[in-house]
Structure 1
């Protein structure tokens, strides 16, 4: 008998019974205690941690930086950049989302020992409990990292983070908790990650013999081990992912904005943590040669089986078949809204193909009359500039001010404001034409290996200089040389520019930061990087006006940040409710 038949019988009995039709029906609400005998309900608490990961979707906070503007006048990051950022209007907020996720995870952790994970096999029950508990610790640490990044700040000379709430809150809890210091929050993140690493496998893979079962689960059958830790659980939190989160957190803690004495020990910690992740992946021997275009490697993406992870990706979301990104960001003639417009500032950050910055006119060969010739190949892969082709029909996109289509500079509300459109992240085989619309597979990386390579390079340069390794397999110089070579930069001249700065720590720092800007463009890093580096947030966003083939750099959008905005606010509503909660200075 199917569920519909059962429901129908129930309705008939209700209508023919002796009770009045006006009597309230009993609600189908279970008690919280049901989680102990229904593991799927307890599992639901854990899944709330996954659904609240900020990296589940694109935010495009680049619009709040010198890398991009938006043609959408209501875009909240545009409002942030132009002076409307406040503790009431904060699209960069992680307080509400992350704290809600942490509350669910705290509930799970408080009850996990009481759940009957498997009523027939105690060892299976133990393994399920270990894995899910490890996932919860890893997820809680990651949400704490995002809270710290978004809300750490100074109050009366002390660098604070957020209130450390490690137990589930109830209606009778004391919600008026003070903020812990930044260092206390970091230690809690590290503690949670250590527990996750202890409980989780490095990766989820099926084993083929009992000899591969970890000693702590000795005696477990191969098939039972695979039921808990096998390949079906790929994309869930693992020890490898926990190590990568630790590397991200360590880099944040070592950065100038959070390390008042520019503590060299923190840079060593950050380098070694990133190095540990890279060592597990074979360092540069496993650098994905196609990693620059991970988002548009069509054959690879289309062939991804459930849980499969491309070489460039350490952790990713599920695959979705849609064309939302293209609908938002394709140029108008490709039936898109052209929302994110890369700036001239970002275009100028791409070097020439020979590796020299364009500002070095003598060595680079740059010409303002032909500004896109012989440039870093990543420029054409990431940005649509005037005369480039795009979309499934290889249409020529004319962004000049005297262009005749809606792709032209400021032609209509969906036109570019800078003379550029975003290409990165978009699949060029998507059609938005209503006569032939199609969807294609996309995924979102939670963590890319390139991010970890760049974190290592940054920290290693600060800790040991450009060519030092601290006992690791590679130096900052090695990493940057490999990334640039993969991108097609400096191949014809041995990357002479890199060679010229390889013994200069300050020059290498500038180069590493620029490589990070390019490699991670539009992926939501630039805003946070500028803040943690204590760099200028107020560089005017520029564009290019092309008329009769003459290129003129123009101011597009002024930035309006005050110095205290290097650290984001605590939500105003929270400060109003709880007097123990001190607001960051200036907000």
Structure 2
């Protein structure tokens, strides 16, 4: 009792001391502090970087005909099989992107009032220019992701999102209608124009005053490098702004959005060409671009200098040392969970090595040896029955008559399709619990191959397979280069490509297929099928292998309604704000 009494007296004594219950005055930060403490203002901008969707993998391919997951609780599997609603949307971007835009609006509104350098007015202005340029570029990028995920038809119009260019505050009218899709696109273009005007093409150290832009005449090279030098690599640049413009334009020109957009296929082709020209044209396509993620003999990661990129990658995340991807996607015998299982649909999309689709008799495809003489990308991206994987080159058997947990449906971490994902995974990672070895990984925000494929698609639609639209290359030239890099048709001059190069429709099919193969598992297929108004309900197929017999099996049916070419506005937002219109069907 005596101890309790002492404790109570102490508590009451402390409660009577203001300094224990009220924070010190200097701990009560005010928003106005950002004007004299630039790190606080910078934090508003950095909030945009932390929210970039491609900071992590979504593996949305499992909601398409490319893959399924052996995680039956996967939200993406659920939306593919009929549980996608306005209240349940694992691919929602409304919350994330809207929050990012709010922070960026706050920064852009206040940036000119911030003192970034009190001693040097020119240095102060350069910091303002660069950081504002990043803000405009990031805002445009998040608007693109908003349109991709939530743009759609409501009533008789194609709508985007509420177009807010000023930060909201407690007294704001939050009940704002969605702007027209085309108005959102025009704002994206305007923001990207601003970003290009304020930002360098790339961040690099210069050594000559002649390299300094005219508007900064009189600034010393070392001062210029303090703001625009190589130390800021992986921040938003004018080159990245051009690529975001090309990505957004490709979406806007596509069948699902073209009706409500003033962006044309020609616009999309020209925007992509502007990026490609800066990369050396068709010959600038990275020869080793297929293995940008690899260690070992294909290593393009371990030797990267600080902030540097391999030739295939324009913009990426920072490099991390881990084995998270391998833990999730290695087969069970490599101590992985085998989460993403490529489908037979995707396997069938890889042509024969001579370039012909496998359903063409000229391909030489043999059902008894289905993986022989195929596109080299098939074995590079997918673990097939009998493939080797992991640091010890373990043979992976997915056949049901093999006594291994890698076999079809053996355990909950086994494949459901007869295949495992190989792409993105470093084969020099060891996941054995007694000797786990981590390796370097990064996520690309933008790969050059994506932009080359965007040009091929848009140029074919705008001018046909062989016309250049005033550029030095055509859709045919780009696809030929991509297929040559993959090792396709090297012994026959790619006879299949030559046979269709005058046929716009056949070339469209080929371009879309090349996009499917080159970008598989990277989060493109889900959005591509929707912008093309393509069939979303191809059943996901697999293969049952017994005694060297390959039997196709149905693994998972898709259950998409036609209105699902456009994603929903979150139902919670519709309930809160009467001015918001929901997309048709949701």
CA distance in 2, matches of 1:260, 1:463: 16
CA distance in 1, matches of 2:134, 2:294: 30
* Structure 1 unpaired stretches of 5+: 1-14
TM-superposed CA distance for 1:262, in Å, is 9.7
1:496 counterpart = 2:459: no
* Structure 2 unpaired stretches of 5+: 1-12
CA distance in 1, matches of 2:314, 2:225: 21
1:479 counterpart = 2:443: no
1:268 counterpart = 2:303: no
How many correspondences in the alignment? 570
Instruction: Indicate the larger mover: 293-302 or 171-180.
Output: 293-302
CA contact (8 A) 1:256 1:262 kept: no
Secondary structure of 2:197's aligned partner: helix
CA distance in 2, matches of 1:25, 1:103: 29
CA distance in 2, matches of 1:71, 1:65: 14
TM-score normalised by structure 2 residue count: 0.96
Aligned position for 1:3: none
TM-superposed CA distance for 1:549, in Å, is 1.1
Aligned position for 1:332: 332
CA distance in 2, matches of 1:283, 1:55: 26
Aligned position for 1:81: 80
CA contact (8 A) 2:157 2:260 kept: no
CA RMSD in angstroms, aligned pairs only: 1.4
CA distance in 1, matches of 2:18, 2:120: 48
CA distances 1:534-575 after superposition (whole Å, capped 9, x unpaired): 000000000000011110000000000001111000000000
CA distance in 1, matches of 2:145, 2:556: 28
1:457 counterpart = 2:456: yes
CA distance in 1, matches of 2:162, 2:51: 19
CA distances 1:446-481 after superposition (whole Å, capped 9, x unpaired): 000000000000000001100000011110000000
Secondary structure of 1:295's aligned partner: coil
Aligned position for 2:10: none
Aligned position for 2:312: 312
CA contact (8 A) 2:295 2:427 kept: no
Aligned position for 1:158: 157
Aligned position for 1:281: 279
TM-superposed CA distance for 1:21, in Å, is 7.2
1:400 counterpart = 2:399: yes
Matches within 5 A, 1:508-547: 508-547=507-546
TM-superposed CA distance for 1:249, in Å, is 0.6
TM-superposed CA distance for 1:402, in Å, is 1.4
TM-superposed CA distance for 1:401, in Å, is 1.1
TM-superposed CA distance for 1:24, in Å, is 3.3
CA distance in 2, matches of 1:20, 1:585: 58
1:113 counterpart = 2:116: no
CA distance in 1, matches of 2:564, 2:553: 26
CA distance in 2, matches of 1:29, 1:281: 50
TM-score normalised by structure 1 residue count: 0.96
Query: After the TM superposition, which parts of structure 1 deviate over 2 Å for at least 4 consecutive aligned residues?
Result: 18-29, 260-263, 297-300
CA distance in 1, matches of 2:253, 2:17: 69
CA distance in 2, matches of 1:21, 1:208: 55
TM-superposed CA distance for 1:261, in Å, is 8.9
Matches within 5 A, 1:565-584: 565-584=564-583
Aligned position for 2:9: none
TM-superposed CA distance for 1:297, in Å, is 4.6
CA distances 1:3-29 after superposition (whole Å, capped 9, x unpaired): xxxxxxxxxxxx99x957754343723
